[in-house]
Amino acid sequence: MEKVGIIGVGQSAFVRGFPGSIRELAFEGFKEAMQDAGIPTKEIDASIICSAPEYDKQRSPAGVFAEYLGLVPQPTCYLESLCSSSSMGLRFAYSLVKSGLHDVVAVIGFQKMSEISSAESQERMGRGADIQWESPFGTMMPAYYAMYARGHMEQYGTTLEDLALIRVKAATYGQINEKAVYRRPVTFEMFSDPESPMSNPVANPLRVGDCCANADGSSCIIVANEEKAKAFSKKPVWILGLGAASTTVNLAGRDLFSGLTVAQAAGEEAYKMAGITAKDIDVAEVHDCFTIAEMMAYENLGFAKPGEGKELIKAKETYKEGSIPVNVDGGLLSKGHPIGATGGSQIRTIVLQLRGEAGEMQVKDPEIGLVHNIGGVGLYGNVSILGR
Residues serving a catalytic function are 83, 337
Q: How far is the CB of 212 from another protein (least distance, A)?
A: 15
251 is a contact residue toward another protein (CB under 8 A): yes
Nearer to another protein, 62 or 147 (CB): 147
CA dihedral 335, 336, 340, 344 (to 10 degrees): 0
Could you tell me which stretch among 38-46, 127-135, 225-233, 352-360 binds another protein (CB under 8 A)? 127-135
Distant-in-sequence, close-in-space partners of 228: CB < 8 Å, separation ≥ 6: 7, 43, 103, 104
Among residues 17, 20, 38, 138, which is the contact residue for another protein, using CB under 8 A? 138
Burial class (CB in 10 A: 0-12, 13-18, 19+), 162: buried
Among residues 105, 140, 326, 386, which is the contact residue for another protein, using CB under 8 A? 140
Could you tell me which stretch among 149-157, 176-184, 272-280, 295-303 binds another protein (CB under 8 A)? 149-157
Please check whether residue 174 is in contact with residue 333, taking contact to mean a CB–CB distance below 8 angstroms. yes
Longest dimension (CA), the chain: 58
Measured in degrees and rounded to the nearest 5, phi and psi for residue 367 equal: -110, -35
Could you tell me which stretch among 58-66, 104-112, 146-154, 349-357 binds another protein (CB under 8 A)? 146-154
Q: How far is the CB of 299 from another protein (least distance, A)?
A: 17
Could you tell me which stretch among 103-111, 129-137, 223-231, 290-298 binds another protein (CB under 8 A)? 129-137
Among residues 1, 57, 73, 132, which is the contact residue for another protein, using CB under 8 A? 132
The CA-atom distances, in angstroms, between 176 and each of 209, 256, 294, 336, 358 are: 19, 36, 20, 14, 11
Cis (ω within 30 of 0) for the bond into 236?
no
282 is a contact residue toward another protein (CB under 8 A): no
Could you tell me which stretch among 195-203, 216-224, 266-274, 345-353 binds another protein (CB under 8 A)? 195-203
Among residues 3, 31, 150, 235, which is the contact residue for another protein, using CB under 8 A? 150
Q: How far is the CB of 366 from another protein (least distance, A)?
A: 36
Among residues 104, 105, 146, 370, which is the contact residue for another protein, using CB under 8 A? 146
136 is a contact residue toward another protein (CB under 8 A): yes
Nearer to another protein, 82 or 240 (CB): 82
154 is a contact residue toward another protein (CB under 8 A): yes
117 is a contact residue toward another protein (CB under 8 A): yes
Among residues 36, 56, 134, 210, which is the contact residue for another protein, using CB under 8 A? 134
Nearer to another protein, 62 or 82 (CB): 82
> How many chain residues interact with another protein (CB under 8 A)?
41
Q: How far is the CB of 117 from another protein (least distance, A)?
A: 7
Q: How far is the CB of 177 from another protein (least distance, A)?
A: 27
Nearer to another protein, 71 or 263 (CB): 263
Measured in degrees and rounded to the nearest 5, phi and psi for residue 15 equal: -135, 165
Could you tell me which stretch among 29-37, 203-211, 306-314, 351-359 binds another protein (CB under 8 A)? 203-211
Q: How far is the CB of 158 from another protein (least distance, A)?
A: 13
147 is a contact residue toward another protein (CB under 8 A): yes
Residues that bind another protein (CB under 8 A): 117, 119-120, 122-123, 125-127, 130-140, 142-144, 146-148, 150-151, 154, 200-206, 250-254, 257
